[in-house]
């Protein structure tokens, strides 16, 4: 396998007496979809936030593209190409697709060569280009997002990450709020990211999604990585056993 684009080594994060992430090693390689699995409180979200810079780990290092990003602020980490798409998507639903792809980075032109105004047609056109690349069809680009479906909004969030040259996309429960057809479309988007050689870290509770798109599954339990399984070796049963802990020892054994 090619060299890892992201390497987290010995990362730990505590909240008071609670060890949320305990000496975790975690790596992502170009063009792979890594599913991060585990029960609630296993430490998945905390680990992700240590990578995206929302939390500062107490120990360990995070290397991205050869640079140490361990204690950098979230905005700097984003500008290096790690895009996190949260469940709430962080979109302005009262605005159209172009405005959302360019949120906070609006392009302006000079009206009468003098007054700077937002260049909406340019932004719409660029947004349309990246949506085409991802094979996403949105009926009208002038529509406000509030009029789009959940899957379309997810697509806009992904398109925004793509447009700003994301080199690693982290997705937190991307299909949780969607209906079945929309879930399929989001999974198709994840595959097209992989085809573009952009790795994806996917946090999901939906076993079906994981089995459908992940190349590798990293399973966390009580703050530790307890299993690292290639898709070819994985069955739902093995994964669930690791998640609930019955794979390492006899206790907590649960019949599935």
Partner 1 sequence: MALGTTSDKAKRQPLVNARFVEFLTQSWSYLFLLGLVVFFSLTGTGFFSVRNFSSILTTSTLIMLMSIGQTYVVITAGIDLSIGWTVGLSSVTTARVMRDLAAGGADVEYAMLAGVFAGLLVALVPGLVNGLLVARVKVPPFIATLGMFGIVRGAAFLLTDGQQVVRGLSAELREALRGIGNGSLLYHIPDHGLVWFRQPPDLEPTQIRQVSQLLPYPVLITALVVVVFAFILARSKFGRHTYVIGGSEEAARRSGINVDRHLIIIYVICGFTAGIAGVLHLFRFTAGAPQAGEAALLSSVAAVVIGGTNLFGGEGDIMGAVVGSLIIAVLQTGLVILNIDSIWQFIVVGVVIIIAVLVNQLQTALERLQSNV
Chain residues binding partner 1 by CB under 8 A are 75, 88-95, 99, 103-106, 108, 111, 115-118, 135-139, 144, 146-152, 155, 181-182, 184-185, 188
What is the arrangement of strands in the sheet containing 18-28, beginning at the earlier edge strand?
A: 18-28, 6-15, 59-64, 67-68
Label residue 253 exposed, middle or buried (CB < 10 Å: 0-12, 13-18, 19+): exposed
Give the dihedral of Cα atoms 39, 45, 51, 55; nearest 10 deg: -130
Shorter beta-carbon distance to partner 1: residue 33 or 227? 33
Q: How far is the CB of 223 from partner 1 (least distance, A)?
A: 26
Shorter beta-carbon distance to partner 1: residue 71 or 105? 105
Q: How far is the CB of 213 from partner 1 (least distance, A)?
A: 13
Shorter beta-carbon distance to partner 1: residue 155 or 229? 155
Label residue 225 exposed, middle or buried (CB < 10 Å: 0-12, 13-18, 19+): buried
Q: How far is the CB of 42 from partner 1 (least distance, A)?
A: 25
Shorter beta-carbon distance to partner 1: residue 103 or 253? 103
User: How far apart are alpha carbons 78 and 197 in whole angstroms?
Assistant: 18
Shorter beta-carbon distance to partner 1: residue 3 or 88? 88
Shorter beta-carbon distance to partner 1: residue 104 or 250? 104
Q: How far is the CB of 181 from partner 1 (least distance, A)?
A: 7
User: How far apart are alpha carbons 203 and 48 in whole angstroms?
Assistant: 9
188: helix, coil or strand?
helix
Residues 6+ apart with CB under 8 A from 53: 69, 72, 73, 74, 76, 77, 78
DSSP secondary-structure letter at 146? G
Residues 6+ apart with CB under 8 A from 116: 108, 109, 110
Label residue 34 exposed, middle or buried (CB < 10 Å: 0-12, 13-18, 19+): buried
Q: How far is the CB of 93 from partner 1 (least distance, A)?
A: 6
Shorter beta-carbon distance to partner 1: residue 95 or 238? 95
Q: How far is the CB of 107 from partner 1 (least distance, A)?
A: 9
Q: How far is the CB of 185 from partner 1 (least distance, A)?
A: 5
């Amino acid at each position: 396998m090619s060299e890892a684009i992201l390497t987290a080594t010995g990362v730990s994060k505590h909240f008071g007496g609670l060890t949320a992430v305990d000496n975790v090693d975690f790596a992502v390689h170009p063009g792979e979809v890594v599913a991060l699995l585990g029960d609630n409180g296993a430490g998945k979200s905390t680990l992700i936030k240590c990578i995206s810079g929302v939390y500062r780990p107490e120990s360990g290092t995070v290397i991205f593209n050869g640079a140490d990003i361990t204690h950098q602020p979230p905005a700097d980490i984003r500008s290096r190409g790690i895009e996190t798409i949260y469940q709430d998507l962080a979109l302005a639903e009262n605005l159209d697709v172009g405005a959302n792809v360019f949120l906070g980075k609006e392009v302006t032109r000079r009206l009468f060569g003098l007054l700077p105004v937002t260049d909406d047609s340019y932004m719409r056109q660029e947004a349309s280009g990246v949506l085409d690349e991802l094979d996403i069809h949105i009926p009208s680009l002038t529509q406000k997002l509030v009029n789009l479906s959940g899957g379309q909004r997810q697509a806009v969030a992904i398109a925004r990450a793509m447009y700003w040259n994301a080199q690693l996309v982290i997705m937190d429960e991307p299909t949780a709020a969607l209906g079945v057809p929309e879930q399929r479309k989001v999974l198709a988007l994840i595959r097209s990211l992989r085809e573009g050689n952009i790795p994806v870290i996917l946090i999901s509770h939906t076993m079906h999604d994981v089995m459908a798109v992940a190349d590798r599954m990293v399973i966390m339990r009580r703050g530790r990585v307890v299993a690292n399984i290639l898709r070819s070796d994985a069955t739902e049963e093995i994964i669930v056993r690791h998640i609930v802990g019955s794979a390492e020892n006899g206790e907590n054994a649960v019949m599935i």
